Amino acid sequence: MAVKSRSVPKRSAGAKTAPAKRRAAPRPDYTSPERLQKIFAALDQLFPRAQCALRHSNPFELLVATILSAQCTDERVNKVTPGLFAKYPTPQDFAALEPEVLEKEIRSTGFFRSKARNLIGAAKKIVTEFGGRVPRTMEELLTLPGVARKTANVVLGTAYGIATGIVVDTHVFRIATRRLKLSRATTPEKVEQDLMRIVPRDRWISFSHQLIWFGRTICTARRPRCGECPLEPICDSADKTV
Ligand code: SF4
């Protein structure tokens, strides 16, 4: 049987060829050891002794201050806590408070009703279940009302020097994702897991404090000061101002 040859459609003289598909450029390795070392070195130079900005003199005060700092600036919290701790210095004092009394004291920090409820509930649990001491493990801290991983990491790292995780607040989240691209995650919990994989454990506590200060002073949310940033040569952020 004769096989018909397929006719090749003729291209008219003016027809354009379809543009060849461009391959997307490979994503740079934002978490390479070399790049991470540059980031750590710059942060060490900028903030060699970065500390938690919340004023406190014991783990319970830090717990209270951290719960109050949700959706509020540390400066505002630091204005409220000295008077509060002078009046109610112990977990027992907080546990005995009426919510309305505490609400008045902390009103200026915002969300004061839920914060008062959580503070009193946490204090009661600390008194009844933990012998009046703020617990020293993530699992136990997470049982306290108003305490999620961020607050627990602050207390464990700053008050007890225990590196259980990395504090991911609004500054750390912004810098780790959109700015330095250390994580592509979209939730603080997943960003923390990504950072814990690439940051050495002995840096977990200081790294959080350093990124928070970096976010407050240089890599600010609104208009980052890229002209003053030592990480500018290795930063690909679309938010850059230079
Ligand atoms: S160059 Fe700008 S955007 Fe990038 S890390 Fe520095 S301050 Fe932030």
Are 118 and 90 members of one domain?
Answer: yes
HSE of 89 in the Cβ direction (CA atoms, 13 Å)? Answer: 2
pLDDT in tens, 64-94: 999 999 999 999 999 999 999 999 999 999 9
User: What CATH code is carried by the domain that includes residue 150?
Assistant: 1.10.340.30
Contact 179 CB / ligand 1 (< 6 Å): yes
pLDDT of residue 18: 57
pLDDT at 58 over 50: yes
Residue 191 exposed, middle or buried by CB count within 10 Å (0-12, 13-18, 19+): buried
Contact 42 CB / ligand 1 (< 6 Å): no
Contact 146 CB / ligand 1 (< 6 Å): no
Are 140 and 184 members of one domain?
Answer: no
Domain boundary residue, one of 123, 143, 160: 160
pLDDT of residue 23: 75
Contact 157 CB / ligand 1 (< 6 Å): no
**Position in ligand 1 atom list of the atom nearest CA 225:** 7
Catalytic residues: 150, 169
pLDDT in tens, 197-220: 999 999 999 999 999 999 999 999
pLDDT in tens, 146-169: 999 999 999 999 999 999 999 999
Which structural domain, as residue segments, surrounds residue 172?
A: 33-51+166-234
Are 176 and 224 members of one domain?
Answer: yes
pLDDT of residue 114: 98
CA nearest neighbour of 198 among 38, 33, 26, 43: 33
Q: Going by CA atoms, what residue is nearest to atom 2 of ligand 1? A: 226
User: What CATH code is carried by the domain that includes residue 211?
Assistant: 1.10.1670.10
Report whether 50 contacts 212 (CB < 8 A).
yes
- How many angstroms separate the alpha carbon of residue 212 from the centre of ligand 1? 13
Are 89 and 112 members of one domain?
Answer: yes
**Number of domains within the chain:** 2
